[in-house]
Amino acid sequence: MMTGQQYRDSLRKRNIKVYIKGELINSNELIDHPFIKGHVNSAAMTYDLAHNPAYEDLMTTTSHLTGKKINRFTHIHQSTEDLIKKVKMLRMISQNTGTCYQRCVGFDAMNSLYTVTYEMDQKLGTDYHERFKKYLLHIQETDNMVAGAMTDPKGDRGLRPGQQADPDLFVHVVEKNDEGIIVRGAKAHMTGMVNSHEMLIMPTMGMNEDEKEYAVSCAIPVDAPGVIHIFGRQTNDDRKCEGEIDQGNAQFGIVGGESLTILENVFVPWDKVFMCGETEFSGMLVERFACYHRQNYGGCKGGVSDVVIGAAAVMADYGGYGKANHIKEKINEMIHMAETLYACSIACSAEGKQTASGSYYVDPLLANVGKHNVTKLVYDIDRLAQDIGGGITATMPSESDLKNLEIGKYVEKYLKGVSAVPTEDRLRMGRLIENMTGGTALVESMHGAGSPQAQKVMYSKLSNLSHKKQCALKIAGIKAKKK
């Protein structure tokens, strides 16, 4: 298993092409860039915590392939206990970073591909599962960070991939030869991509039989020829080029450092191809990945919410109103919502089931309900944090003002809360609330792992409405009509 430092060193060895605000960044210096540094620190926690005895019970496990101790982020779930430990691990890491550490996306991509390649091979006689197991072994041995790459740009949402004015709006195979395939297109909102080692490409949705070129899954190094990353902007990101306080979470940043990743005729050898034209399994892969990924959100957002709740409570203490009844009531409401998020993730894990491959899969209905809750409850938790934090979280002067020789004394004097707490501490806590409850951080809760509608469409499919009708008919004393 790599340490955080070994992970950082390994990233410097890549020849990755990343553009930030129109500028190509030297690949060796990328991880030092103010826009990137925090996301690297956050991902590095997933490596360092695995070496800490106080966290290793969640952070590490035993490989079912080799029997060796591995980082849990490279593991294939072997039981419902594994699924539960994943959720607990995510909550714990979030408590340490206050933001996304990005590594769950590749983790979920690997688990979904493990199950789907097995079932594909059983039905079609292909050899994708063995290929994938070799790839998995490589990831477990190197401890590389894998970016899960599902979301295509999709262009006109009313049109199928082949109907788009530009066929590249969905990643597709443009050539096949004896050596491998060549793919073109792009993947959007790519969490942790620029500080990963490789990416796992998956189709963005279920494909029809005439859309074989779009049913493609493969592993590609993030610095492969033809791969270009354009780093996304975030709320207040230029503050990262200034001091520390105004960033709110200077060490770890906000969400996952997303990018638009371009695949301009990228070659992929056959041993790294895990789906190529098997359209009937594309929908299954999307659904498996989506459900594994939706499982996470009560863990990671539960942990992030723990930090938000703590920040709101401390801010109230700093202002001298921490003991007010309405504050206690609001804090309790926040706790109720955070634990509701967590409960769904634990529930969908406890109700997980074995797949044909032998690995374990979450309960899809409960996983979707959990993520759907995140699209609402995190907004409510953050709203209460802003309520408790006060207007100062949006109006306070800058760190430069606080440190200015002429006016700093006024910031110090007039923004003080209780006398025992330095003004700087109050400003730091206010900035943390600002960082965690607005802009980019909130949008991630809405759309990460799929927008609310993507969860709603699963309900009618998974919730057994006919049984509910039968229950009602029986209790109401209505005899069902015989057909």
Partner 1 sequence: MCFKNCRNQSKEKIVLDTSIKIGIKFCGNCNPHIDTVELSEMLKNYFKEIQFVNWDAGDYSILLVLNSCTVGCATHPNFSGPKIITKNDSINYESVLPEDLFKELVKKINEYTKT
Residue 60 backbone phi and psi in degrees, to 5: -130, 165
CB of 55 to partner 1, least distance (A): 6
Helices 80-97 and 325-350 cross at an angle (nearest 10°) of 150
Closest residue by Cα to residue 81 from 368, 291, 356, 352: 352
Amino acid at residue number 461: K
Site string for partner 1, 253-282 (x = CB under 8 A): ------------------------------
Contact predicate 120/128, CB 8 Å: yes
Site string for partner 1, 31-60 (x = CB under 8 A): ----------------------xxxxxxx-
Catalytic residue among 33, 104, 115, 211: 104
Does the annotation mark 293 as catalytic? yes
Nearer to partner 1, 91 or 431 (CB): 91
- Per DSSP, 404 falls in state -
Site string for partner 1, 80-99 (x = CB under 8 A): -x--xx--xx-xx--x----
Nearer to partner 1, 82 or 434 (CB): 82
Q: How many Å apart are CA 198 and CA 221, to the nearest integer? A: 4
Does the annotation mark 191 as catalytic? yes
SS3 of 53, please? coil
CB of 255 to partner 1, least distance (A): 21
Considering only residues 326-355, where is the footprint of partner 1 by CB under 8 A?
A: none
Does the annotation mark 300 as catalytic? yes
Stretch that binds partner 1, among 79-87, 181-189, 238-246, 327-335 (CB under 8 A): 79-87
Does the annotation mark 74 as catalytic? no
Nearer to partner 1, 271 or 351 (CB): 351
The DSSP annotation for 414-468 comes to HT--STTS-HHHHHHHHHHHHHHHSTHHHHHHHHTTS-HHHHHHHHHHHS-HHHH
Amino acid at residue number 313: A
Hey, what are 476's tokens?
Answer: 């109401």
69 lines the binding site for partner 1 (CB under 8 A): yes
- Non-local CB neighbours of 333 within 8 Å, separated by 6+ positions: 384
Considering only residues 291-330, where is the footprint of partner 1 by CB under 8 A?
A: 303
Catalytic residue among 297, 318, 342, 361: 297
Does the annotation mark 444 as catalytic? yes
Q: How many residues form the binding site for partner 1 (CB under 8 A)? A: 17
Catalytic residue among 75, 100, 114, 348: 100
CB of 345 to partner 1, least distance (A): 12
Contact predicate 195/31, CB 8 Å: yes
Nearer to partner 1, 69 or 326 (CB): 69
Please compute, for residue 360, the number of CA atoms within 13 A of its CA located in the half-sphere on the CB side.
Answer: 21
Interface ranges with partner 1 (CB under 8 A): 53-59, 69, 81, 84-85, 88-89, 91-92, 95, 303
Annotated catalytic residues are 100, 104, 191, 258, 293, 297, 300, 444
